[in-house]
């Protein structure tokens, strides 16, 4: 069965134009929630997806080191994502968690056999599971607490999830169309 | 994605065919997992601190008639 997702991606106007003319760049790094990939707000615990993408684009504009905005204009892109359910890891469901937990259990037992304790984050573990071909994950979905401008300014760091996101590991394969739906000024 | 028999077998196959040392090496060096090293030198202690319960010590029972808490532990 094919899963269809409508993903909202907030970014700068310049990046949005680049994405439309060429392709998305993957977000990479240990701090990524679901591992390397292109991130989208999708329907889940929040239905205000365009608002979330705008808030994200505005919060990402601020460069805390230089105390100024990196860009003046933001954009929201709407992408249509298609993925087969066998390649879709949905961590908001019991089925998805069963898969994730099983791989983690096997890893922990293996490390236990040599008396090793290893720390990692969700995204790192997903990168490992996907790149080592343990499972064929093309798109992963999860509920997370994401800090936007208000959360950063007020120093909020709650555990209650505020949005549902997905990451697409191979945009060329799973993203079928993209269009700019909103633009505006950061300030 | 569901944990079907086939998927479980595939996951098992990966972990059954890799040594723990190799798996540690891959996850730490390739995916930046952080190895936690808690080693006790010589695996022995020169001294220990003895902890014990005292039945006459206090527990967290609050008495409204008092302006402090009693902490008696059942022993």
Note the pLDDT tens digit of each residue in A2-49.
Answer: 999 999 999 999 888 888 776 787 777 656 789 999 999 999 999 999
Residue of B nearest to A140 (CA): B1
Q: Do B38 and A117 touch (CB under 8 A)?
A: yes
Domains, chain A, in order of start with CATH, read: 2-185 (3.90.228)
Interface mutation vs chain B, best among A95, A123, A127, A128, most B CBs within 10 Å: A128
Is a pLDDT exceeding 90 seen at residue A96?
yes
B3 touches chain A (CB under 8 A): yes
Residue in A99, A110, A128 closest to B7 by CB: A99
| Chain A residue closest in CA terms to B20 | A110
Mutate to test the interface with B, among A135, A140, A166 (most CBs of B within 10 A): A135
Q: Is the ipTM of this complex over 0.90?
A: no
- Nearest residue in B to A2, CA atom: B1
SS3 A52: helix
Cβ–Cβ contacts within 10 Å for residue A162, how many? 16
Render pLDDT for B1-34 as a digit per residue (tens, 0 to 9). 999 999 999 999 999 999 999 999 999 999 999 9
Strand order across the beta sheet in which A139-144 lies: A88-90, A139-144, A163-168, A38-41, A2-12, A73-84, A175-185
In this structure, are residues A27 and A37 in contact, taking their beta carbons and an 8 Å threshold? Answer: yes
Measured between alpha carbons, how far is B49 from A11 in angstroms, rounded to an integer?
Answer: 57
Chain A environment of B34 (Cβ under 8 Å): 118-120
Question: Band of the pLDDT at B38, cuts 50, 70, 90?
Answer: low
């Amino acid at each position: 069965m094919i899963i269809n997702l409508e993903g909202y991606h907030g970014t700068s106007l310049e990046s949005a134009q680049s994405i439309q003319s060429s392709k998305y760049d993957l977000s990479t790094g240990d701090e990524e929630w679901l591992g390397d990939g292109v991130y989208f707000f999708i329907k889940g615990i929040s239905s205000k997806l365009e608002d979330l993408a705008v808030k994200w684009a505005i919060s990402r504009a601020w460069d805390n080191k230089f105390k100024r905005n990196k860009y003046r204009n933001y954009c929201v892109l709407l992408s249509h994502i298609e993925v087969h359910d066998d390649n879709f890891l949905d961590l908001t469901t019991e089925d998805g968690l069963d898969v994730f937990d099983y791989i983690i259990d096997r890893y922990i037992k293996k490390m236990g056999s040599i008396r090793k304790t290893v720390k990692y984050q969700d995204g790192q573990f997903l990168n490992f599971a996907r790149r080592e071909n343990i499972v064929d994950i093309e798109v992963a979905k999860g509920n997370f607490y994401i800090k936007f401008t208000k959360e950063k300014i007020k120093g909020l760091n709650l555990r209650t999830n505020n949005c549902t996101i997905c990451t697409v590991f191979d945009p060329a394969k799973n993203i079928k169309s993209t269009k700019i739906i909103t633009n505006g000024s950061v300030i | 994605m569901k944990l079907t028999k086939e998927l479980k077998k595939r996951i098992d196959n990966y972990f059954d065919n890799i040594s723990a040392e190799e798996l540690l090496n891959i996850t730490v060096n390739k995916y930046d997992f952080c190895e936690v090293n808690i080693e006790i030198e010589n695996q022995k202690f020169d001294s220990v601190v003895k902890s014990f319960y005292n039945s006459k010590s206090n527990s967290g029972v609050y008495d409204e008639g008092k302006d402090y808490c009693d902490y008696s532990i059942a022993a």
